[in-house]
Structure 1
Amino acid sequence: MTKRQRRFTAYRTALTLLTALGSLAGAALSGAAPAEAAPRGRIAPGVVYEHFDIQVARGTAHGHLLRVDLTDPHVTLDLLHPGKVAGRAPLSQLARTQGAVAGVNGDFFNISEAQHPGVEVTGAAVGPAVASGRALKAAVPKGQRFGPALPPGTSTRDVIGMGVDRRARLDDMALSGSVRTATGSFPLGGLNQYALPVNSVGAFTADWGSVSRVRATCGTDTNRAAPCSEDTHEVTVKDGRVVSWADDPGRGAIPAGTTVLVGREAGAAQLRKLVPGQPVKVLHELVAAASKVAYRFAVGGYPVLTGGQPLPGLDDSAVAVRSAVGIAGGGKRVLLFSLDGGSAYRGLTVAEVAATLRKLGATDAFSLDGGGSSTLVARAPGASAPTVRNHPSGGAERAVPNGIGVFVTP
């Protein structure tokens, strides 16, 4: 064999090995993906899309994954949202409008009001939300949430987010706020929420939208289906002064610089003490329990994996289509995950989602809304906008209140 032939043989052997390794990586958890599925590979610097089969005891599910490398200074994450808390849109539309290259759906949300006939469905998310460093909303009471039962020890305040230090982390975000007047002050119990705690006052800003605020006074802290309160009051504060009041919560867009205070029970009694022309200062912020670093974005859901270990008590019986997020590399690598839905595909239990993300390298993981909401979008090579990569349960995208977007700067 000549020297040239030996070099060619060595090259061909190396190429065969690399091809085999690439195939194994693409089918990380099992065998090959369906032939009609979108091609795997890098969709932007620091962002890679994969899909693969997931073998579990009761069958095979098919997963879609975005690997996001936050060590790349051109890659970042932010909240996808339609501009108003009480609003929804398909994930692909949110990503296209905001210029994201990829994303996954976000929090659970107020999707129906069968128990409260005539009450407008808000479409607002359950948990806290932060977009581009600005707090949009706080969490509803635990008994008012939509979605499956929460794992023990978790709450509606749980979030996954990315700090201004460009590290992703799990956290707990509580509302800290007050309404202050010359004669005293009282605490704020809500910010742009579809459900307020009993006996509280909530603040609604221009971020809320034009949807009715009546839903905020329905149900109780432990029973979402409880009747709407009959003891309510609403006060409008503009440029720091009370300008109007009403007994019933209203609807319509809230101008910038204006805050509408809605009270129920004892909170309504507090608001009745305010009179037109009276100076009022409304203060509110979301306070993170674990991080001292400000958040660039945060979205609600619930943790399923912390410190490399599944949370105790995760459900291992209910199979459903699901979306989730994994964190690896000390918060510098993020895994956005979603399943295929529909009758042709199998879902996973919450425990299986935690185990899957752990196998993919996550040390922490967070469950997002699932079922018909589960959607993962990514831009194809050469395309100008992201498209849906998984198979949504309903055969088409569901309008959602928010999502996690992947952005790439020049």
Structure 2
Amino acid sequence: MGTALATLLACGALAGAALAGAAPASGAQRAEEIAPGVEYRAFDLDGAGGVTRAHLLSVDLADRHVRVGLLHPGAVAARRTVSGMADAQGAVAGVNGDFFNISEAQHPGVEATGAAVGPEITGGHPLKAAVPRGQRFGPPLPPGTTAEDVIGVGADRTARLDRLRLVGSVDTPEGELRLGGLNQYALGEGSVGAYTSEWGGTSRARATCGTDTRRAAPCSGDTYEVTVRGGQVVATAGRPGSGPIAAGTTVLVGREAGARRLRRLFRGEPVTVRRRLVAASSGDPLVFAVGGFPVVRHGAPLPGLDGTVSTVRTAVGIARGGHRLLLLALDGASRYRRGLTVAELAAELRRLGATDGFNLDGGGSSTLVTRERGEGWVDVRNHPSRGAERAVANGVGVFSVS
């Protein structure tokens, strides 16, 4: 491929902290310590579209003074810039996260929610589950991957790729309903989804638009909504509503067969909603997780990765047996904007020492921030491709722990 790669070998005292296996790169900068266990470096590399600039954070998860967590705008159905989220949460560094519901041009009158495509976990608590594959925003998924794929960190402080599946039920006097969604901007056809206070005040109407295979399909005309509080039905409505959901309250939204089942419920009837995200692996419970899609597994690129479309990208690599994270964001300045293909991105992650790699949202969303010691705010280290930061659904935050 002729790629000029970044050297992560630092001089003097930084040499021991550098990653092994990286070849020299043009324009490489000396590693800069952002905080204990966190280093930043920028370097140039060659892709099929030309020279691009990469910005890299190396995070030592074995250092007890470092923690990685979800950058979040305060509600699932909301957006905020990476710098705004990092400042609000006190992060020392971070990158943008998952693809998200960015527009609704195909559904006039329906509000784009800003909610992420894949699952989210923060502090061990599940915020949302994945939308149906056909309802995704972002490039086509590589073969063998799903919208449920995540990169996360377990309670053992080890990073890993995993898959999070929603398991839930709605217990009613007439029997049990399978729960088909949790705080999602799109529900599967014929399903029932649960919405909590963490969703925010954005309209839930988008949840009943599109189909499992076609995001732009018309909104369903067969919908129903039930509000549950204190273990019983307190309200019903013929269509999804909007506005904040009170703490301790769950709003059930149904479409087609799910709507017909919800219409059998009446005020005062007992209802219990149960939900959890179940990891496909047997590893420690994830305390942090964000969606996207895998590009490298067990040291090898996934088959079928696109090698034709070059663009600005953000990605995460896992190295040293899950004890180091590599947060990579490309630069969007005009002379670098051609970026990399997904296949090239996977190759770069491998050569930087990653045994597993995960692609996040890119293009105008790609952002990497760091905070200088003693400062109360972060700086954007790359150049967002649209000239300014884009508000996004979530991000990967790096935090210093005393």
TM-score range, shorter chain: over 0.9
Aligned mates of 2:193, 2:24 — CA distance in 1: 47
Residue 370 (structure 1) aligned with residue 362 (structure 2)? yes
CA deviations on 1:200-250 (whole Å, 9 max, x unpaired) are: 000000000000000000000000000000000000001111001011100
Report the equivalent of 1:6: none
Identity rate of aligned residues, in percent? 63
CA deviations on 1:353-398 (whole Å, 9 max, x unpaired) are: 1011111100000000000000000112442322110010011100
Aligned mates of 1:233, 1:160 — CA distance in 2: 34
Coordinate RMSD, CA, aligned: 1.9
Matches within 5 A, 1:57-96: 57-96=48-87
1:175 touches 1:189 (CA, 8 Å); kept in 2? yes
Residue 55 (structure 1) aligned with residue 46 (structure 2)? yes
Report the equivalent of 1:350: 342
Question: Could you tell which deviates more after superposition, 385-394 or 228-237?
Answer: 385-394
Residue 121 (structure 1) aligned with residue 116 (structure 2)? no
Question: Could you tell which deviates more after superposition, 174-183 or 56-65?
Answer: 56-65
1:199 touches 1:264 (CA, 8 Å); kept in 2? yes
Shift of 1:291: 3.1
CA deviations on 1:116-137 (whole Å, 9 max, x unpaired) are: 0000010000000001111000
Shift of 1:18: 4.8
- The residue identity in structure 2 corresponding to 1:404 is V
Shift of 1:287: 0.3
Shift of 1:105: 0.4
CA deviations on 1:306-357 (whole Å, 9 max, x unpaired) are: 0110000000000010000000011000000000014221300000110111
2:315 touches 2:328 (CA, 8 Å); kept in 1? yes
For residue 315 of structure 1, give the secondary structure of its aligned residue in structure 2: coil
**Residues 102 and 351 from structure 1, CA distance in 2 versus in 1: closer, same or farther, beyond 3 angstroms?**
same
- The residue identity in structure 2 corresponding to 1:180 is D
Shift of 1:292: 3.6
Shift of 1:283: 0.3
1:30 touches 1:55 (CA, 8 Å); kept in 2? no
For residue 180 of structure 1, give the secondary structure of its aligned residue in structure 2: strand
Matches within 5 A, 1:9-408: 18=12, 29-32=24-27, 40-345=31-336, 346-408=338-400
- The residue identity in structure 1 corresponding to 2:395 is G
CA deviations on 1:186-208 (whole Å, 9 max, x unpaired) are: 10000000000000000000000
1:29 touches 1:54 (CA, 8 Å); kept in 2? no
CA deviations on 1:61-119 (whole Å, 9 max, x unpaired) are: 10000000011011111000011000010000100100110001000000000100000
Aligned mates of 1:106, 1:330 — CA distance in 2: 22
Aligned mates of 1:132, 1:396 — CA distance in 2: 30
TM-score between both structures, scaled by the size of structure 1? 0.92
Aligned mates of 1:116, 1:135 — CA distance in 2: 29
Shift of 1:60: 1.1
CA deviations on 1:247-279 (whole Å, 9 max, x unpaired) are: 110000000010000000000011001110001
1:29 touches 1:53 (CA, 8 Å); kept in 2? no
Aligned mates of 2:48, 2:174 — CA distance in 1: 64
1:70 touches 1:76 (CA, 8 Å); kept in 2? yes
- The residue identity in structure 2 corresponding to 1:255 is A
TM-score between both structures, scaled by the size of structure 2? 0.94
Aligned mates of 1:166, 1:335 — CA distance in 2: 15
Report the equivalent of 2:401: 409
Aligned mates of 1:317, 1:29 — CA distance in 2: 25
2:48 touches 2:310 (CA, 8 Å); kept in 1? no
Any runs of at least 4 consecutive aligned residues in structure 1 with deviations exceeding 6 A, and if so which? 19-22
Aligned mates of 1:296, 1:311 — CA distance in 2: 26
Aligned mates of 2:214, 2:397 — CA distance in 1: 33
Gaps of 5+ in 2: 1-10
Aligned mates of 1:373, 1:58 — CA distance in 2: 19
- The residue identity in structure 2 corresponding to 1:306 is R
**Residues 293 and 151 from structure 1, CA distance in 2 versus in 1: closer, same or farther, beyond 3 angstroms?**
same
Report the equivalent of 2:5: none
2:49 touches 2:339 (CA, 8 Å); kept in 1? no
1:171 touches 1:291 (CA, 8 Å); kept in 2? no
Aligned mates of 1:266, 1:32 — CA distance in 2: 59
- The residue identity in structure 1 corresponding to 2:108 is P
- The residue identity in structure 2 corresponding to 1:31 is S
Aligned mates of 1:69, 1:19 — CA distance in 2: 16
